[in-house]
Amino acid sequence: MADITDIKSILYTEKTLGMQEDGIIVVQTSPRMTKNGLKEVFREYFGIIPSRVNSLNQNGKTKKFRGMSGKQNDFKKFYVKLPEGAQIESLAV
């Protein structure tokens, strides 16, 4: 069962801020989150049923730090399209 704790953050970049004007919010979650789980979280906690949800699995980058190689965590990104006229006030910038 999905929970709001599975949402790691809302991504705020130049590209995603432009998408927010069109009603699309970009959410970073844990890799185990599903589209239906994310819709359920938005319905329970924000009272909005998304009209469309697209997902993207993002693999962690391999980096070197002080001569030792390591890997950043994998995560999943969701592009959530809100219904026309719907807005989440706590997420607005």
CATH for 51: 3.30.70.330
Q: How confident is the prediction for the chain on average, in pLDDT? A: 89
Percent of the chain with pLDDT over 70: 94
Give the three-state DSSP class for 14: helix
Residue at 52 is within a domain: yes
Q: What is the pLDDT of residues 47-79, one digit of tens each?
A: 889 999 999 999 999 999 899 999 999 999 999
The pLDDT of residue 80 is above 60: yes
- Residue 54 is part of which domain span? 4-61+72-85
Q: Is residue 38 very low, low, confident or very high in pLDDT (cuts 50, 70, 90)? A: very high
Give the three-state DSSP class for 3: coil
Query: Is residue 47 exposed (0-12), middle (13-18) or buried (19+ Cβ within 10 Å)?
Result: exposed
pTM, 2 dp = 0.82
Residue written as token pair 């991504």: 11
Give the three-state DSSP class for 8: strand
Residue at 26 is within a domain: yes
| Cα distances (angstroms) measured from residue 9 to each of 34, 47, 89 | 16, 19, 16
pLDDT, average across residues 28-43: 92
Q: How many domains does the chain have?
A: 1
